[in-house]
Amino acid sequence: MPSPKWTFASRFRRNAFGWRSSLPIQRLKEAVSEIRSVARTDPAFAADGAVLLLEKLSPALEHVDSSSGALGSAVNRTIEALVPLIASADVTPAARQRWLERLFEALQDDQMAYIESLGEHWGALCVTPALASDWADRLLPLVTHVLEAEGFNYFVGAVPCLSSLYAAGRFEEIVELVRRDRLSSWWYRRWAVDALVCLGRRGDALRLAEASRGLNAPESAIARTCEKILLESGMTDEAYERYAIAANRAGTYLATFRAIIKKYPAKTPETILSDLVGSEPGSEGKWFAAAKEAGLFDQAVALSRQSPTDPKTLIRAARDFEIKQSRFAMDCALCALQWMEAGYGYEVSMTDVTDAYDALVAAATASQISKAAVDDCVRRLIRHADSLVGRALHTRLEADRR
C-alpha cells in the first residue's frame, strides 16, 4: 500500500502544538474532513490515513493544556469518526493486521492517554471473529496476570482484550476474566455485564452492575447500563423509577428533561417534570425552561418563584411570549426583576433590567393593563433606591410619573 501524502501529516508532528487547545481542535476537524473526503473514492487509502492520524495524535498533543476537557472530547469524537472508516475498508487480512499492530503500538506509547478509548473499539477494528479471537489469545495471559496481581497494576491491553473476546463471542471467558479483577473496576465489569446480557442472564447482569456502585464509580454510566437492561427487557416502569433521572442527566436541566421525555414517551411531561423537580429540592427555578418548553406555563411561573431563576432566561421568555401568552410573559418579566433586585444572576447589567422592564410593559399592553399600573407594581418591587434595579429604572419611572 503506498505511503499516503496527507495534509494533516505535517501538522501533527511530535510536539507540534503549544499549550492552547483551540488550534489542535481545529486541526482535528480538518484532518477528519480530509480523510472522509478521500474515503468517498478510495476507502482503503482513507483507512490507512486514519491509522496514521491516530498514530500521530498523542505525540503531537503532548504539551497541550487539556484541563478543560475540550481537547479530550475532540479526540474522542475523532476516534468515533475514524473507527468505522478503518473497520469498513475492504483490505486483506494481512493489511488489517498491520493496521492493528500500528494502532496497538500507538496505544502503548500513549503517555497522556489521549487515544485510550480506542481500545473499546478493538473488536470492531478486528472486523472478523477469527481475528478478534487471535488478538484475545495474544493479550489474555498478560491481562489475567495483571488483574490478579497484588496492588494496583495496569495494562493498556486489558480493554482491547475484553473487546476482542466480546467480538469473538467468547462471553463466558469475559465473565471469568473480570471475576479475577481484584479492584472491581467498572470499566472492566461493564464488559462482563454486556456478556451476561448476551448469555441471556439479564438478572445477573443487572446485579453485577448494581454491585459496581461505590467510591469513584461512574454513577451515571452504571445507571445508563442498568436502565438499558430493563428497557430491553420490557420493564419500562421499573427502568423509569430506578434509573431515568441518574441515567439521563445532561449538561443542562432542559437537556435532561428532553432526554427523559424522548426515552419515555408514555410518561406525561407533567409527571417527568414533577419527578425531576422533586429530585433536587432547592433547585426548582432551574427547571423553569423545561416547564416552559412543555407548555406548562403555570408550573413554570410557580417554579421561577420558588428558588432563584436565571434572570436572562426569564427575560427571553417574557419577550418570546409577550403576545401569545402575555400573562405568562408579565410573570416572567416580574420574576426577572425580583431576582435581579435580590442580587441573583450572572453578570447582570442595567441593560438586562431595562430589557425586563420593556418586556413587562409590552406584555401588559397586550393584556390591556395600563402602564401606570405596571409602574406602580415595579415601584413596590424595588427595595432599595441604590440597588441595580432601582438605579436602572429610577429615571424612567420618574419621567413617566411627571
In the predicted structure, residue 400 carries a pLDDT above the cut 70:
no
pLDDT attached to residue 3: 53
**Domains of the chain, residue spans:** 308-401
Q: What is the DSSP string of 322-372?
A: TTTTHHHHHHHHHHHHHHHHTT-SSS--HHHHHHHHHHHHHHHHHTT--HH
pLDDT attached to residue 1: 47
Average pLDDT, the chain: 94
Output 124 or 391, whichever has higher pLDDT: 124
Query: Mean pLDDT across the stretch 310-338?
Result: 97
Phi, psi of 17 (to 5 degrees): -115, 150
pLDDT by residue (tens digit) across 243-296?
999 999 999 999 999 999 999 999 999 999 999 999 999 999 999 999 999 999
Which three cell numbers, joined as nine digits, stand for 230?
Answer: 430493563
Chain-centre distance of CA 108, in angstroms? 27
d(CA 387, CA 402): 22
pLDDT by residue (tens digit) across 126-167?
999 999 999 999 999 999 999 998 878 889 999 999 999 999
Query: Mean pLDDT across the stretch 30-36?
Result: 98
pLDDT by residue (tens digit) across 41-87?
999 999 999 999 999 999 999 999 988 899 999 999 999 999 999 99
Chain-centre distance of CA 113, in angstroms? 19
pLDDT attached to residue 4: 54
Q: What is the DSSP string of 49-71?
A: HHHHHHHHHHHHHTTS--TTSHH
pLDDT attached to residue 151: 77
pLDDT by residue (tens digit) across 339-358?
999 999 999 999 999 999 99
